[in-house]
Copies of this chain bind each other. A is one copy, B any other.
Amino acid sequence: MPSHEFQSHDHSHCVSDAMNAALLHCEKNSLKFTPVRQRVFEILLSEHKAMGAYDILEILAKEGMGSQPPVVYRALDFLGTHGFVHKIEKLNAFVACEHPGSDHDPAFMICRSCTKVVEMEGSPNSEISTAAKSMGFEVEAIVVEAEGLCPTCQDTE
């Protein structure tokens, strides 16, 4: 399966896989996957792009699901806590997780041209953990965000 998310692909699978994983996980852990939370997750799943909280809020508001910031921030907090979405610190924005179910420190590639965001496979940060450990630093979470050009945008430059 070399088709990764920068290339065109059957995106409906991304959506249904992620949503099913989330539904299952909430079911198993008695988490309340409420309409607002579910809708925010759907919105983030619609594309492999990061969205700002206020962009999401605007969509929610149009649909009559809450029009104030705390609504969306609370939903994002829930989704983040349970690993369904990640925050992209560099962009102050949020993306749906592409590796649902697994507990992981995500690492991202952000295309500055098409603005797509893709999660790397396998959390390639053992090197960082090692470097930190060698200084006696105990790592609890790692932010890794690579910005640049995706394969498609390199061609069309």
Contacts and interface: CB of A to CB of B under 8 A. Distances in A.
Nearest to A154: B138
Nearest to A130: B124
A interface bracket (residues with beta carbon within 8 Å of B):
35 or more
Contacts of A127: 124-128
B128 A144 contact: yes
Interface stretch (A24-32, A46-54, A57-65, A145-153): A145-153
Most chain B Cβ neighbours within 10 Å, of A6, A145, A154: A145
Nearest to A142: B146
A132 B146 contact: yes
Contact of A131 (B89, B111, B122): B122
Interface of A: 4, 6, 89-90, 107, 109, 111-112, 118, 120-122, 124-132, 135-151, 154
A26 to B, nearest CB: 27
A153 to B, nearest CB: 9
Contacts of A136: 6, 150-151, 154
Contacts of A122: 131
Given A137-B149, A139-B147, A144-B144, A107 B89 contact: no
